[in-house]
Amino acid sequence: MARAGLTRSIVGVDQNGAAIEQNVVEERPLTIYLNSQEIVTAMTIGDYPEYLALGFLRNQGMLEGAGAVTRVDYDDDLDIVVVRTDQPTNHEEKLKKKTRTSGCAVGTVFGDMMEGLEGLRLPEAELRTSWLYALAAEINTTPSLYLSAGAIHGTVLCRADQPLVYMEDVGRHNAVDKIAGWMMQNDAAPEDKILYTTGRLTSEMVIKCAHMGIPVLASRSGFTAWGVEIAQQVGLTLIGRLRGTRFQCLAGADRIVWDADLSRVKDEPKKSARKAST
């Protein structure tokens, strides 16, 4: 079942002209402030706005030098989130330079997209094929907005073969930012994590994953050449076209441990991914 308030039931007709009732995903603006400065208005489904705001600012590098985050205030009447820090911030110059990304809800990256990646090398992390197959089977059958309404992307934070947190949004970049915000709020270490996304493995997705310090990024979708180049540069293991027992690895293949018994993969019991708690 779709979560209340995130979808709306709309009446229409199917290919035969028969009446149908379909759940469709809601889409609403959320304006993010850092202290007194308006940063961006994002189109989102509206859940976990605090995580989205924190993760977006963190992945944009806007919290560096800002000290500790002291409060995150959300006004659901105005659809505004204000992230407050104990050090003053001013990103006027950074806001002047923005790149429209390939995000399906028209993502925006401020400043130099490659800023902070120079010299970055992600931690070494083992990746077992048995984990990949178990995660793919579980995530693809977990109840979600995607299964009930479609038109949405999912991102899952995992450790080994265990999904930890599942986030969804109309833009895959928003879903990743929610994961980043959750990690900040829960002091979750990144070095033993896998990030799974339903979206394409573009430069933006790889950069976000690298900034979060997560060494493995996997998707059931494909790659872009620049995304692969950046993954190779920072030491990210990049897994794409993950479907069943098939996948492609275009970066970091030396970390893979080929331990799966393919004759038993389909017999693995399925578990339920845990939704994030507010």
Angle at 170 between CA 167 and CA 176, to 5 degrees: 40
Summarised one tens digit per residue, pLDDT across range 55-110 is 999 999 899 999 999 999 999 999 999 999 999 998 877 787 665 454 444 455 55
**211: closest CA among 159, 175, 176?**
176
Across 140-153, b (16+ Cβ under 10 Å) vs e yields bebebbbebbeebb
The CB density around residue 14, as the number of other CB atoms within 10 Å, is 9
Q: What is the pLDDT of residue 143?
A: 76
Query: Structural domains in the chain?
Result: 28-110 (3.10.20.10), 127-267 (3.40.140.10)
Q: For residue 271, is pLDDT > 50?
A: no
Angle between helices 203-212 and 225-234 (to 10 degrees): 20
Contact 123, 213 (CB under 8 A): yes
Q: What is the pLDDT of residue 157?
A: 98
Instruction: Give me the residue label for tokens 């779709």.
Output: 2
Sign, CA torsion 224/226/227/229: positive
The strand pair at 69-75 and 37-44 is best described as unpaired
Q: For residue 151, is pLDDT > 80?
A: no
Torsion of CA 138, 261, 251, 224, to 10 degrees: -50
**212: closest CA among 248, 175, 241?**
175
Q: What is the pTM of this model?
A: 0.85
